[in-house]
Structures are given as C-alpha cells and as structure tokens.
C-alpha cells in the first residue's frame, strides 16, 4: 500500500526551516553573538512547522479538482504526499479520489484520520510532507488530526470539504479549522437553474438525514434565490407526500 504515497521520481530532501528570529543588527549587546547563537539554536531545535489550507464550497464547485491539482503540484516539486478520503463515500470505489469531471488520484479510504499514521506505517508517515483530505465533513477527528499534523508533525495539510449541508448548517468540523488554518478558499459552482454563481447545495429529494451520499441524482448547486425557492418546493412536496401517507 506504500504506492499510495505519491512522490516525484527524484527524491528531494526537505527544505530547511526558515529562520524568523527577531534579532536586531542594531542591538548594542553583541549582535553578532546573539544572531549566531539564535541561528545555531534554530538549526538544532526548531521543528519544521506545517500548514493547513482549507477548500470549501457547495457540491460541484471544484473542491476535489483543486485538491488534486494542489497535491499534484506539491509532488511535482519533489514533496512526498498522500491523499485520504472518507470510506463513507463509495461512489467511485475506495482506491481513488475522483472529481465530478473524472480527474483521479489514488487515496487511502479511511473511517477516521487518527488511524492514518498506523495504516501508512510510522516511518512512511514521518517522511510525508503533504497530506490531502477529501470529503473532510465526514471525519469526526478532523480538527485534532490537522492541528497535530501541522503543529507537531510539520505536515502541509490540504483539506477539501463541504462547509454546509443541504440545510446550510455547518457540516462536521470543517469550519472549526478556520482559526488554525493558513488559508481558506470558498469556491462556488454555477446554479443548476440560472447559471449564476452558486454557493449552496440543494437536495432534490425528501430525505432528511444529514449524511446522504450522492451526486447529481440527489444534489444540485444553486444560487441564493433558487436555494430559497427550491427549499419551498421540496418542503411542499414533502408535506404532500406525508399527507398521502396518512390517507393510505
């Protein structure tokens, strides 16, 4: 399974950690000594810190495409990367992340993120520079995993997921990452009804559970106007169906 660690054919070593030490060259108390000591300390003690980049948006906004492109770019630059997705999403099998346009990348499909280091092997985990996570809304341990990976393990974590569900409520812990993220990107899709910018996902069926795996058969990206109108239509249909059930 180590083939799922994506890497460039030419092995490059990790870049050295950058020095951001507040040493002033005008310090009257032996500036060179302080600067030298600080650099020596940093070289031996400074861990290389990671980063967290979050990509959110409605369905069909291009989140998976952006994640694949970002991780591909990293591997092209010689960094070692692995992709993870939730094993709840079985739409395209479990061995690949696949965008709605058909772009693919091999991945680990896992029930949770904490099992990843053991699954991949501790040595292989240590060597990883970049971890991509798709369908992040489905991971209950998303926050702890990403924080540890970036703060303590020096990983660059790129996370793609839904910020909101079909009722526009927060989805999983994706939003909890914002305070610990280096960057947050909200992508938009095209409204399935008017082609305007779409920020929301409309569920076209009467199902009410929060988690319901599906694609264009169940969901449509919509603008604000069509989200509000669409909710009224779906709710009206639900009431009609409920009343018919009662009569039967």
Ligand X SMILES: Nc1ncnc2c1ncn2[C@@H]1O[C@H](COP(=O)(O)OP(=O)(O)O)[C@@H](O)[C@H]1O
Ligand Y SMILES: Cc1cn([C@H]2C[C@H](O)[C@@H](COP(=O)(O)O)O2)c(=O)[nH]c1=O
**Which stretch in 27-35, 139-147, 208-216, 229-237 sits in contact with ligand Y by CB under 6 A?**
208-216
Binding to ligand X in span 109-168, by CB under 6 A: none
**Which stretch in 56-64, 72-80, 141-149, 168-176 sits in contact with ligand X by CB under 6 A?**
56-64
Residue with token string 């249909």: 237
**Least Å from the CB of residue 63 to ligand Y:** 6
Among 52, 159, 201, 222, binds ligand Y (CB under 6 A): 201
| Residue whose C-alpha is closest to residue 189's, from 101, 83, 130, 102 | 101
72 burial level (CB within 10 Å; 0-12, 13-18, 19+):
middle
Among 8, 35, 39, 100, binds ligand X (CB under 6 A): 100
153 binds ligand Y (CB under 6 A): no
Active site residue 135: yes
Residue 242 is classified by DSSP as H
Instruction: Note whether 89 and 83 are within 8 A (CB).
Output: no
Q: Which two tokens stand for residue 25?
A: 């060259």
**For residues 126-149, b (16+ Cβ closer than 10 Å) or e, as one string?**
eebbbbbbbbbbbbeebbebbbbb
226 binds ligand X (CB under 6 A): no
Residue 101's binding partner among ligand X, ligand Y, none (Cβ under 5 to 8 angstroms by kind) is ligand X
Other beta carbons less than 10 A from residue 233's beta carbon = 12
In angstroms, the CA 153 to CA 87 distance is: 24
Q: 106 forms bridges with which residues in the sheet?
A: 96
62 binds ligand X (CB under 6 A): yes
238 binds ligand X (CB under 6 A): no
Instruction: Note whether 137 and 172 are within 8 A (CB).
Output: yes
The nearer residue to ligand Y, 67 or 131, going by C-beta atoms, is 67
Among 216, 233, 236, 240, binds ligand X (CB under 6 A): 216
Say which of 51, 127, 135, 211 is annotated catalytic: 135
Binding to ligand Y in span 161-200, by CB under 6 A: 162, 165-166
* Positions marked active-site: 135
Q: Which residues bind ligand X (CB under 6 A)?
A: 57, 59-65, 99-101, 189, 192, 216, 221
């Amino acid at each position: 399974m180590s083939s799922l660690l994506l890497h460039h054919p030419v092995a490059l070593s990790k870049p050295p950690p950058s020095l951001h030490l507040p040493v002033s060259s005008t310090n009257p108390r032996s500036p060179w000594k302080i600067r030298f000591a600080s650099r020596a300390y940093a070289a031996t003690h400074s861990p290389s810190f990671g980063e967290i980049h979050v990509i959110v948006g409605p369905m069909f906004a291009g989140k998976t495409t952006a994640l694949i492109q970002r991780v591909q770019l990293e591997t092209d630059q010689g960094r070692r990367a692995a992709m993870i997705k939730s094993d709840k999403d079985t739409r395209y099998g479990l061995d690949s992340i696949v965008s709605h346009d058909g772009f693919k990348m091999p991945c680990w499909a896992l029930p949770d993120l904490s099992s990843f280091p053991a699954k991949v092997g501790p040595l292989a985990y240590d060597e990883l520079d970049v971890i991509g996570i798709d369908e992040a809304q489905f991971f209950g341990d998303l926050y702890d995993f990403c924080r540890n990976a970036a703060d303590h393990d020096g990983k660059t974590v790129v996370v793609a997921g839904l910020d909101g569900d079909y009722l526009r409520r927060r989805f999983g812990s994706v939003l909890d990452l914002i305070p610990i993220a280096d960057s947050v990107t909200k992508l938009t899709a095209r409204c399935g009804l008017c082609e305007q910018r779409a920020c929301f996902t409309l569920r076209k069926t009467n199902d009410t559970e929060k988690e319901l795996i599906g694609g264009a058969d169940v969901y449509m990206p919509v603008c604000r106007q069509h989200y509000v109108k669409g909710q009224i239509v779906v709710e009206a249909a639900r009431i009609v169906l409920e009343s018919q059930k009662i009569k039967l």
